[in-house]
Amino acid sequence: MHANVHVIGDATGQANFKALHDPFWVRWGLVGVAVGFIVLFLCVPLGLVLYQAFSKGWQAYWTALAQPDAIAAMQLTLVVALITVPLNTVFGIAAAWAITRFEFWGKSLLTTLIDLPFSVSPVISGLIFVLMFGAQGWFGEWFSAHDIKVIFAVPGIVLATIFITFPFVARELIPLMQEMGNEEEEAALSLGASGWKTFFKVTLPNIKWALLYGVLLCNARAMGEFGAVSVVSGHIRGVTNTLPLHVEVSYNDYDVIGAFSSASILAGLAIVTLVLKSFLEWKQARV
């Protein structure tokens, strides 16, 4: 009897094992397709960027990057990110807090609106800002009367970037804060902590990895955004060109080394972002 039970157990075990696994050729076929795609569409272009950037050697690469226009583009990109990312971090936390902690009329509409920048084409977003702040725009007259330049100037680029990168932080925080609930915060308040202390000692430590993840994605997009910024910037060399715009302008001028050396900086940024992103994902999974 005992032996019998064992035999039956083994037999069903094997049957299950086979039933749960696809044939060899299906498994390796799928893996092959996936890897082939990644190589063809991600690795080859990335390699090509680096190959083109260094096609005339290190010297040419550094010379291209040291051009005043390239340096100005990098500086502008950094300035835009330095303004946009902190602002959207604060906005994102505020929006996530409002949505997950309070009940109010129009809450689901707000939740939908946060995703708006993802669903609107960046070019349209840029055009909206031109329509609002451009010389013929709604507020254009008022701004030109006060001698404030928004469109074809840095403020316009910052505004467009803020709009485009708004969802990243909020979208990371909302599901996490919904899942955590607010009991820990209520506990902190009942123990006599003020609102600020509760936020810094209880809420922030609990959301910090998701927050950093959102900030990272927000930063990557802020530095890499092309469409919306392209519409509002006016492509003034050394003044309103961000790094992605500088790549385009150089390429159009047949300055291959200039275009690809700047592109390699953006590619490097993407790789750093990917590494940090994996680290943060690993960290979040452990919390």
Partner 1 sequence: MSILLNNISKNFGKFAALYDVSLEIPEGELVALLGPSGCGKTTLLRIIAGLETPDFGRVLLSGEDKTEQHVSRRGIGFVFQHYALFRHMTVFDNIAFGLRVKPRKERPTEAFISKKVHSLLELVQLDWLADRFPDQLSGGQRQRIALARALAVEPSVLLLDEPFGALDASVRKDLRQWLRNLHQELHVTSIFVTHDQEEAMEVASQVVVLNQGRIEQQGAPADIYDHPANAFVSKFIGQTNVFDLSETESNWLQRAGILAEKPQGIFAHVRPHHIDIVKAEETSGSPVTLKDWQHLGATIRVELFNPQHNGSGATLFAEMPNERFKQLNLNKGDRVAVHIKQAHWFN
Q: From CA 168, how far away is CA 221, in angstroms rounded?
A: 9
Q: From CA 88, how far away is CA 161, in angstroms rounded?
A: 10
Binding flag, residue 211, partner 1 (CB under 8 A): no
Binding flag, residue 202, partner 1 (CB under 8 A): yes
**Distance from first CA to last CA of the chain, Å, rounded?**
48
Q: Which of 190, 254, 285, 286 binds partner 1 (CB under 8 A)?
A: 190
Q: Which of 121, 194, 252, 278 binds partner 1 (CB under 8 A)?
A: 194
Instruction: State the Cα torsion 110-225-265-253 to the nearest 10°.
Output: 180
Q: Give the interface segment with partner 1, choosing from 16-24, 38-46, 179-187, 236-244 (CB under 8 A).
A: 179-187
- Closest distance of CB 190 from partner 1, Å: 4
- Closest distance of CB 48 from partner 1, Å: 45
- Closest distance of CB 287 from partner 1, Å: 8
Q: Which of 191, 272, 274, 275 binds partner 1 (CB under 8 A)?
A: 191
Helix H or strand E encompassing 195: helix 195-198
Which has the closest alpha carbon to 162: 208, 229, 212? Answer: 229
- Closest distance of CB 183 from partner 1, Å: 4
Query: How many amino acids of this chain bind partner 1 (CB under 8 A)?
Result: 17
Q: From CA 147, how far away is CA 51, in angstroms rounded?
A: 46
Nearer to partner 1, 139 or 200 (CB): 200
* Cβ–Cβ under 8 Å, residues 99 and 176: no
Question: How far, in Å, are 110, 141, 195, 204, 206 from residue 181 at the CA level?
Answer: 19, 48, 16, 14, 11
In the chain, DSSP assigns E strands to: none
Q: Give the interface segment with partner 1, choosing from 145-153, 191-199, 227-235, 276-284 (CB under 8 A).
A: 191-199
Binding flag, residue 186, partner 1 (CB under 8 A): yes
Binding flag, residue 205, partner 1 (CB under 8 A): yes
Binding site for partner 1 (CB under 8 A): 183-184, 186-194, 197, 201-202, 205-206, 287
